Structure 1
């Protein structure tokens, strides 16, 4: 770790935040903070972790990899 505010310290998390913002947050006008929070939770629990293919396990989804 190089210190506070260095994005290279946490590149995987920064990539995740960019993905969730570009695919879920920016294209939608949310009516409430709660609605956005629920959508983010569904995205993380349902789509991102279980279905999406990742490069590190040979372009398989986490479920298929396990």
Structure 2
């Protein structure tokens, strides 16, 4: 799945600031901490880097 499919589909933003804030929250709150990545051995980026 892509960022567009996971986050942006059917969502509209009035300003670029809103969009950037939403993307940052998504990456820090879900993508790096919960989403499993096949290229990382089905681990999160934080697990892969040994942070979590």
TM-score by length of 1: 0.56
Structure with the higher helix share, 1 or 2: 1
Counterpart of 2:15 in structure 1 is: 32
- Structure 1's consecutive aligned runs of 4 or more residues displaced over 6 angstroms after TM superposition are none
Runs of 5+ unmatched residues, structure 1 = 1-17
**1:41 matched to 2:24:** yes
Runs of 5+ unmatched residues, structure 2 = none
RMSD (CA atoms):
1.9
Structure ID, larger Rg: 1
**Higher RCO by CA contacts (8 Å cutoff, separation 6 or greater):** 2
TM-score by length of 2: 0.66
